[in-house]
């Protein structure tokens, strides 16, 4: 894809801080991008009654590429998740979250290299609910063949393209025999189209245990929306935390790139936020745009700063602020 203009959504909490840091690094690396930047989230909602200004939607529909920083979603009441809204509106069905160990970030796990494919548009996470009475609420789990097929095929296509050896289907079909059973059945049907890739399935609670005992046994994971949301946070813990886990949300026509972590309002404005996950998400965006060399240059610079270890944000065990960390990466470039 050839484009030099992308849409940028600045969110809430630490969102504006890490957005400024990432855009500064992209510019310093010579990404040669123009930005159409919009404020979105709680502040925009309170002021104008909309999560996203109409101009923001129009920009994304023109550029087809969105770099979105975290926003705050109220618990229980208030507006619906902006992520859910965007995924549904633009059919961003494939959420990919790579978790890989970095020698510079010490954890109990040294051989983690897991890529999780999460179906992004249905399941319980789609938020289809109804209130039956004052004491009863139903949440409706929706699994379809169409959505299952395309996320499973995305995982296998990635495995082939990137010389991966195994795809693991994660489900709870022993209990939810119809919905999760359909997802598992589709997985094995499609797996037959990829004879060179090992296919296996595991129950989600067993996977949660195995990930913290033998994470090196996993390669590519494909799963439903809610399981993927939970397990991808677990895999971030294996590599050092949410500040190191990037994410892409791909559809047929549109692509959104974001960090997995939230808006962290408790540290907003303190200048200590870690922009690494958002920066690596931006690198995934560069690769999507055909700018692999720029992405590789940024990744090397980040690795060098992490390995040096003298200028790290507090979540990585350092005492440097966002500005100093950003400056260190730019100097490495």
Residues labelled catalytic:
125, 172, 205, 229, 233
* Neighbour tally for 302: CB within 10 Å: 24
The count of C-alpha atoms lying within 13 angstroms of the C-alpha of 262, restricted to the half-sphere facing its C-beta, is 11
Helices (runs of H) and strands (runs of E) counted in the chain: 11, 12
Angle made by CA atoms 90, 113, 241, in degrees to the nearest 5: 75
Long-range contacts of 57-61 (CB under 8 A, 24+ apart): 59/7, 60/7, 60/90, 60/254
Cα distance between residue 38 and residue 56, in whole Å: 6
Q: Which residue has the tokens 């990432």?
A: 22
Cα distance between residue 185 and residue 295, in whole Å: 37
Cα distance between residue 90 and residue 254, in whole Å: 7
Residues 159 and 193 sit within 8 Å (Cβ to Cβ): no
Cα distance between residue 265 and residue 275, in whole Å: 15
Radius of gyration of the chain (CA): 20
Of 254, 307, 271, 262, the closest CA to residue 17 belongs to: 271
E strand map for the chain: 5-10, 34-39, 65-68, 94-100, 113-119, 129-133, 136-139, 166-171, 198-203, 220-223, 246-250, 255-259
Residues 101 and 216 sit within 8 Å (Cβ to Cβ): no
Distance of CA 75 to the CA centre of its chain: 20
């Amino acid at each position: 894809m050839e484009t030099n203009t992308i849409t940028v959504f600045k969110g809430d909490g630490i969102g504006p801080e890490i957005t400024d840091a990432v855009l500064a690094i992209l510019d310093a690396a010579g990404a040669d991008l123009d930005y159409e930047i919009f404020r979105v989230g709680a502040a925009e909602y309170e002021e104008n009654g909309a999560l996203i200004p109409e101009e923001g939607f129009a920009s994304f529909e023109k550029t087809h590429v969105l770099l979105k920083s975290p926003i705050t979603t109220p618990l229980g009441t208030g507006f619906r998740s902006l992520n859910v809204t965007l995924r549904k509106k633009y059919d961003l069905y494939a959420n990919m979250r790579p978790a890989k160990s970095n020698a510079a970030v010490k954890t109990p796990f040294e051989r983690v290299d897991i890529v999780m494919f999460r179906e992004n548009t249905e399941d319980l996470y789609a938020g289809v609910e109804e209130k039956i009475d004052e004491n009863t609420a139903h949440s409706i789990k929706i699994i379809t063949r169409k959505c299952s097929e395309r996320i499973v095929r995305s995982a296998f296509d990635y495995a082939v393209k990137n010389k991966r050896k195994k795809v693991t289907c994660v489900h709870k079909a022993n209990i939810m025999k119809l919905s999760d059973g359909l997802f598992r059945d589709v997985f094995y049907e499609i797996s037959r189209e990829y004879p060179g890739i090992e296919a296996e399935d595991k129950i989600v609670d067993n996977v949660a245990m195995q990930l913290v005992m033998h994470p090196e046994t996993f390669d590519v994971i494909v799963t439903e929306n809610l399981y993927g949301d939970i397990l991808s946070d677990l895999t971030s813990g294996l590599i050092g935390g949410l500040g190191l886990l990037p994410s892409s949300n791909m559809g047929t026509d549109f692509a959104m790139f974001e960090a997995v972590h939230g808006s962290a309002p408790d540290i907003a404005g303190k200048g200590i936020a870690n922009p690494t996950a958002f920066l690596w998400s931006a690198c995934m965006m560069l690769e999507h745009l055909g700018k692999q060399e720029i992405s590789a240059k940024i990744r090397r610079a980040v690795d060098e700063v992490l390995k040096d270890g003298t200028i790290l944000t507090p979540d990585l065990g350092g005492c440097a602020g966002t500005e100093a960390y950003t400056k260190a990466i730019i100097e490495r470039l």
